[in-house]
């Protein structure tokens, strides 16, 4: 089954053709990051307009690279929640029009379910059940993946998402948006013991809290500057990254241990972080767990992951009608449309 998938939830317009949920036939991602960087973050109105301009070209390119015409695909999958509504609506309406005109099924895909599914594209042996840590620019979740379409969230952030914390701390340190990847590089050159950052506690042991950490980074920079001293950005990056990665890893691994999971996975943009990948892999080895992580090319937003999850949604009978709408928020274990 060949699925044409479309993704437009934030600042990437993406399209892909995925075969039987596991094989990427083509994948095209057009990023708008350079433009949003001028404003230090994603400007929703600009994102929607750029999706409008790019979507025809991106979908055509994905079909061309796959050597297919639109009529050759078996279904259209689209990211419909969560995300920036104006941005999602561009992909949703394009997918609706295409599905309607071709008489093909329209498959609604939850963006975060898509991030989790990115692992299936790279690891053919991975099958539920397993436990997944989802860390992106807007989500930090510990999730039981019970089947391809059944999930249970055990914990989540109570304030900022992990990626958001990286981006805010990076901004305070003078890095361009999105700063996660810059902190990752700078951390490799720094000494994480040079600074101390707090580890916020949460009432639910599986929840996360990152906003206090961001404030601590801002205060540390401010106080250092007031003393007329220079901040060591590499060491602050190393300390910040180590603190975030330890918090994520400790909570995630104890959730897996307490719930008897031996198979674990990580997904989302922050899954690209080298510190997180090595902390998780070390912890997995110590606990005799098997860890799956997507290749870096599939950690950030892309449409291949939407095509993969779309296959499993289709198999479970999840087909949308022509009144499909877009939603800014939606829990991944209570998907409705």
Size of the site for ligand KG4 (CB under 6 A): 20
Give the Cα separation of 319 and 109 in Å (integer): 10
Q: Does residue 7 touch ligand KG4 according to CB under 6 A?
A: no
Structure tokens at 106: 């329209």
Q: Does residue 270 touch ligand KG4 according to CB under 6 A?
A: yes
3-state secondary structure of 3: strand
Q: With respect to ligand KG4, which residue has the nearer C-beta, 73 or 182?
A: 182
Q: With respect to ligand KG4, which residue has the nearer C-beta, 120 or 166?
A: 166
By CB under 6 A, name the one of 62, 76, 172, 272 that touches ligand KG4. 272
Which of 155, 144, 133 is CA-nearest to residue 270?
A: 133
Give the Cα separation of 248 and 267 in Å (integer): 12
Q: Does residue 163 touch ligand KG4 according to CB under 6 A?
A: yes
Give the Cα separation of 83 and 80 in Å (integer): 8
Q: Does residue 249 touch ligand KG4 according to CB under 6 A?
A: no
Q: Does residue 138 touch ligand KG4 according to CB under 6 A?
A: yes
By CB under 6 A, name the one of 86, 268, 294, 307 that touches ligand KG4. 268
Q: Does residue 79 touch Zn ion according to CB under 5 A?
A: no
181 binds, among ligand KG4, Zn ion, none (CB under 5 to 8 A by kind): ligand KG4
CB distance 265 to 130 below 8 Å? yes
3-state secondary structure of 312: helix
CA 10 to chain centre: 11
Which of 168, 86, 151, 195 is CA-nearest to residue 309?
A: 151
Give the Cα separation of 156 and 133 in Å (integer): 10
β-pair partners for 320: 106
Q: Does residue 307 touch ligand KG4 according to CB under 6 A?
A: no
Which of 112, 108, 130 is CA-nearest to residue 263?
A: 130
Q: DSSP letters along 211-229, please? A: HHHHHHHHHHHHHHHHTTP
By CB under 6 A, name the one of 21, 114, 137, 190 that touches ligand KG4. 137
Interface with ligand KG4 by CB under 6 A: which range of 66-74, 84-92, 163-171, 207-215? 163-171
Residue 154's alpha-carbon distances to 82, 196, 208, in angstroms, are 19, 29, 11
Q: With respect to ligand KG4, which residue has the nearer C-beta, 86 or 300?
A: 300
Q: With respect to ligand KG4, which residue has the nearer C-beta, 130 or 166?
A: 166
Give the Cα separation of 313 and 156 in Å (integer): 24
Binders of Zn ion in range 290-309 (CB under 5 A): 301
Q: With respect to ligand KG4, which residue has the nearer C-beta, 99 or 108?
A: 108
Q: With respect to ligand KG4, which residue has the nearer C-beta, 2 or 246?
A: 246
CB distance 134 to 252 below 8 Å? no
CB distance 53 to 35 below 8 Å? no
Beta carbon of residue 83, minimum distance to Zn ion (angstroms, whole number): 8
Binders of ligand KG4 in range 166-195 (CB under 6 A): 166-167, 178-181, 184
Q: With respect to ligand KG4, which residue has the nearer C-beta, 115 or 148?
A: 115
Q: Does residue 300 touch ligand KG4 according to CB under 6 A?
A: yes
Binders of Zn ion in range 124-163 (CB under 5 A): 136
By CB under 6 A, name the one of 301, 308, 313, 332 that touches ligand KG4. 301
Interface residues with ligand KG4 (CB under 6 A) are 10, 115, 136-138, 163, 166-167, 178-181, 184, 268-270, 272-273, 300-301
Interface residues with Zn ion (CB under 5 A) are 136, 301
């Amino acid at each position: 089954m060949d699925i044409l998938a479309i993704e437009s939830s934030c600042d990437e317009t993406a399209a892909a053709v995925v075969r039987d949920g596991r094989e990427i036939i083509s994948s095209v991602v057009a990023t708008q990051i350079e433009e949003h960087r001028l404003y230090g973050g994603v400007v929703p109105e600009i994102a929607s307009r750029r999706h409008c301009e790019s979507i025809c070209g991106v979908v055509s390119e994905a079909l061309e690279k796959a050597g297919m015409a639109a009529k050759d695909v078996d279904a259209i999958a689209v990211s419909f929640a969560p995300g920036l509504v104006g941005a999602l609506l561009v992909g949703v309406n394009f997918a609706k029009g295409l599905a309607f005109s071709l008489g093909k099924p329209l498959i609604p895909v939850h963006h975060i379910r898509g991030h989790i599914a990115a692992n299936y594209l790279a690891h053919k042996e991975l099958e539920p059940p397993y436990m997944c840590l989802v860390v992106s620019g807007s989500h930090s979740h510990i999730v039981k993946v019970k089947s391809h379409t059944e999930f249970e969230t055990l914990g989540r952030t109570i304030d900022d998402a992990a990626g958001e914390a990286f981006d805010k701390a990076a901004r305070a340190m003078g890095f361009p948006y999105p700063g996660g990847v810059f902190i990752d590089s700078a951390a490799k050159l720094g000494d994480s013991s040079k600074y101390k950052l707090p580890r916020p506690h949460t009432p639910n042991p599986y929840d996360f809290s990152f906003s206090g950490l961001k404030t601590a980074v801002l205060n540390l920079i401010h106080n250092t500057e007031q003393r007329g001293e220079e901040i060591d950005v590499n060491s602050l990056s190393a300390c910040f990254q180590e603190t975030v990665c330890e918090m994520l890893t400790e909570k995630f691994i104890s959730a897996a241990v307490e719930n008897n999971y031996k198979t674990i996975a990580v997904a989302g943009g922050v899954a690209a972080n080298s510190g997180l990948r090595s902390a998780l892999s070390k912890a997995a080895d110590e606990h005799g767990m098997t860890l799956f992580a997507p290749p870096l090319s599939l950690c950030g937003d892309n449409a291949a992951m939407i095509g993969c999850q779309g296959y499993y949604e289709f198999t479970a009978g999840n087909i949308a009608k022509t009144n499909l709408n877009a939603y800014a928020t939606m829990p991944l274990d209570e998907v409705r449309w």
